[in-house]
Amino acid sequence: MKKVEAIIRKSKFDEVKKALHQIEVNFFSYWDVTGVGNEKQGHVYRGISYSTSDIQRRYLVIVVSDDFLEKTVNVLLDTASTGNVGDGKIFISDVIEAYRIRTKESGSAGIN
């Protein structure tokens, strides 16, 4: 099993969520987060300068079986991308074990 952590634009979240459901990734957690990116210049909107050093994003955590990893990553790469700086990041790590508390199922049965 793998844990996929993705930091994406908030504006792309609904599209990403729909695409994940289409490939049958139906359970994941998400949070609104603020981060600091590489882009240091400010933007001017209607004559007011705004700092872009603090960036509002959405943080997703998805645990999938190994056979769903590639599909999940591809959906994130395809749907979260705008082609502009600040589209986000994806991190993948191993999950040793997963349990469903209600039924006490473990492994892949615990996450499906």
Q: Decide if pLDDT at 53 tops 70.
A: no
Question: What is the 3-state secondary structure of 21-72?
Answer: HHCCCCCCEEEEEEEECCCCCCEEECCEEECCCEEEEEEEEEEECHHHHHHH
63-89 tens-digit pLDDT:
999 999 999 999 999 999 999 888 899
Q: Decide if pLDDT at 109 tops 90.
A: no
Task: Give the per-residue pLDDT at 89.
Answer: 95
Q: Are 105 and 1 in contact (CB under 8 A)?
A: no
Task: Give the per-residue pLDDT at 42.
Answer: 59
Task: Give the per-residue pLDDT at 71.
Answer: 97
